[in-house]
Amino acid sequence: MDRKQRSVGVVLFDGFELLDVFGPVELLSRLPEEYPITYVAPQDGPVRSGQGAEIIADASFTDAATPDIVMVPGGMGTRPLVGDATFLRQLSHWATTAPLITSVCTGSALLAAAGLLEGYRATSNKAAFAWASGHGRDVTWVPRARWVHDRDRWTSSGVAAGMDMTAALIGHLSGTEVGATAAREIELELHTDPDWDPFAAHYGLD
């Protein structure tokens, strides 16, 4: 495994889901030298989450360098953005050359609407799966998955699933024990099977 530094660009937008961002960030921040994090939004400055907390975006899509890893959260703010041509164009232009593009929850709907999941397998929040999977033209949506890793794309199911995906991503890039150690440090009991998904059955997706 390669312990080199990989920059992470976390996308923020009004109405983003806090845990979609800060669950993964908590794990990545255990390795600050390997995974430096920048928060990026349509404009720099404060961005209000769906829970009301304001987070400062370090840079705009226009000004931010494309990172090694793009991470797009979900949240109710994704609903208007899937139809926002300016946002989708900015996201696509900024992210398309990133070596890895990832999403948590309904962030995959934004990736799909921006054309960043064409030809890929992907998953999303199961409660919102019917809505999320209606985006993109050539996306193979996987209804039963905690997360899906397809080449240079990683997409997770809803909210807390982003932490399992991120631990797996760290393990994939930096070594299995590194990912397990990051989870252990925050006392997170991981689900390590990407196909573990009781929520798909709960929402009638099996």
Would you list the domain boundaries of the chain? 8-202
Superfamily of domain 8-202: Class I glutamine amidotransferase (GATase) domain (3.40.50.880)
pLDDT at 166 over 90: yes
CA distance 81 to 6: 28
Are 73 and 107 in contact, with CB atoms under 8 Å apart?
yes
Q: Give residue-wise pLDDT tens across range 27-63.
A: 999 999 999 999 999 999 999 999 999 999 999 999 9
Paired residues of 105 in beta bridges: none
The continuous run of DSSP H or E covering 101 comes out as strand 100-103
CA distance 38 to 29: 11
Cβ neighbours of 160 (radius 10 Å): 16
Q: What value, to the nearest 5°, has the Cα angle with vertex 129 and ends 116 and 144?
A: 95
Work out the mean pLDDT of the chain and round it to a whole number: 97
Residue 145's Cβ-count burial label (10 Å; 0-12, 13-18, 19+) is: buried
Distances (CA, A) of 124 to 11, 98, 177, 193: 17, 21, 27, 16
Six-digit token string for 139: 């996306």
Chain-centroid distance, C-alpha 61: 16
Q: What is the pLDDT at residue 1?
A: 59
Q: What is the pLDDT at residue 2?
A: 67
Paired residues of 71 in beta bridges: 10, 102
Q: Give residue-wise pLDDT tens across range 81-121.
A: 999 999 999 999 999 999 999 999 999 999 999 999 999 99
CA distance 40 to 199: 31
pLDDT at 129 over 90: yes
Name the phi and psi angles at 154, rounded to 5: -130, 125
CA distance 143 to 200: 6
